[in-house]
């Protein structure tokens, strides 16, 4: 990506010098209480440790991890301490912070224009950087949960260490793969502003487990499509270079439900999908990429 020297966003909140203790509890929402038993069943693990494993597997690129943080239903006392010392970071990490800021700024420009074309105003979200654990309006989260969007405070949360996992564990290297992660989370913010998230949340509460999972998949695929919409406009702004789109497609493939389930248990259970198969995620990213229009991303058209 040709990102160096481009405009940075002012909506970065750096909490990397914060430390959270008593981070074992999560919020009170019960919209996804059924997620943990499903994950436990197919992963075959028991005990408290399964929480981190399951959330890590299903929380990646979910954007709605705020709902998932409720799986324990516990709100233990937590304390947050902020170091007065300057944030310690390597040169590589500092460059990564700049990269995230540039990508965020570009999403702001793209979505502001698209909303304006529809007579709407885009409310820019904040992106919170953290290490190890963080407290959001949705509850507590640890780094193992991956990047997430919290609709309660309309903020995206990212531990930069996740990008190492993206490269090494999920075999999806490259700066555009990282940008895809950010764009997907911003896609969930777009859903929140359009009222889609609230409608899905309400519908899921009235649905069976299987039907609720299907709605979750449609929501996630739409966020992938919105990421593709951003990529279309980023390409028009000469931000992308050769090989970038392949990196994004590799990332979408790596975190499909079928791919993750094959890795964890050796077979696939479509009824337990919450984000969509690798093929579906690639398909909807490509749809957004081809059109550059929000209207092309109606994954709910048959609902």
Q: Which pLDDT band, with edges at 50, 70 and 90, does 89 fall under?
A: confident
50: Cβ contacts below 8 Å, ≥ 6 apart: 36, 39, 40, 43
pLDDT in the model for residue 277: 83
Pairing type for strands 133-136 and 18-21 reads: unpaired
Question: Please, are residues 177 and 248 in contact by the beta-carbon 8 Å criterion?
Answer: yes
pLDDT in the model for residue 189: 97
| 48 pLDDT higher than 60 | no
213: its two tokens: 């999972």
| 42 pLDDT higher than 80 | no
Q: What is the pLDDT of residues 216-230, one digit of tens each?
A: 989 999 999 999 999
Domain range annotation of the chain: 12-297
Q: What is the pLDDT of residues 101-156, one digit of tens each?
A: 999 999 999 999 999 999 999 999 999 999 988 989 988 888 888 899 999 999 99
Nearest to 132 by CA among 238, 19, 27, 33: 19
11-15, 98-102, 150-154, 203-207 — which is least confidently predicted? 203-207
Average the pLDDT over 96-100 and give the result. 96
What pTM did the predictor assign? Answer: 0.81
Cα 103 from Cα 123, distance rounded (Å): 16
What are the two backbone dihedrals, phi and then psi, of residue 284, each rounded to the nearest 5 degrees?
Answer: -75, -30
Share of the chain above pLDDT 70, in %: 74
């Amino acid at each position: 990506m040709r990102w160096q020297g481009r405009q940075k966003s002012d909506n970065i909140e750096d909490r990397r010098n914060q430390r959270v203790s008593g981070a074992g509890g999560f919020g009170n929402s019960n919209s996804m209480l059924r997620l943990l038993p499903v994950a436990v069943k197919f992963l075959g693990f028991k005990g408290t440790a399964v929480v981190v494993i399951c959330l890590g597997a299903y929380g990646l690129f979910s954007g709605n991890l705020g709902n998932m943080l409720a799986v324990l239903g516990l709100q233990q006392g937590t304390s947050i301490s902020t170091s007065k010392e300057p944030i310690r970071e390597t040169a590589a990490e500092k460059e990564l912070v700049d990269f995230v800021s540039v990508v965020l700024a570009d999403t702001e420009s793209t979505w502001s224009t698209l909303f304006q074309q529809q007579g709407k105003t885009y409310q820019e979200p904040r992106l919170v950087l953290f290490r190890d654990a963080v407290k959001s309006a949705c509850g507590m989260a640890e780094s193992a949960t991956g990047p997430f969007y919290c609709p309660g405070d309309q903020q995206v949360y990212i531990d930069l260490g996740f990008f190492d996992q993206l490269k090494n564990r999920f075999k999806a290297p490259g700066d555009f793969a990282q940008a895809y992660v950010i764009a997907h989370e911003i896609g969930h913010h777009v859903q929140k502003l359009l009222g889609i998230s609230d409608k899905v949340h309400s519908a899921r509460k009235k649905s069976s487990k299987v039907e609720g999972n299907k709605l979750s998949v449609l929501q996630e695929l739409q966020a992938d499509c919105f990421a593709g919409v951003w990529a279309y406009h980023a390409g028009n702004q000469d931000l992308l270079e050769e090989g970038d789109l392949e990196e994004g497609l590799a990332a979408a493939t790596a975190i499909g439900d079928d791919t993750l389930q094959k890795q964890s248990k050796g077979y696939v259970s479509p009824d337990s999908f919450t984000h969509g198969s690798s093929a579906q995620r690639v398909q909807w990213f490509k749809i957004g990429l081809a059109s550059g229009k929000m209207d092309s991303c109606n994954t709910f058209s048959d609902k």
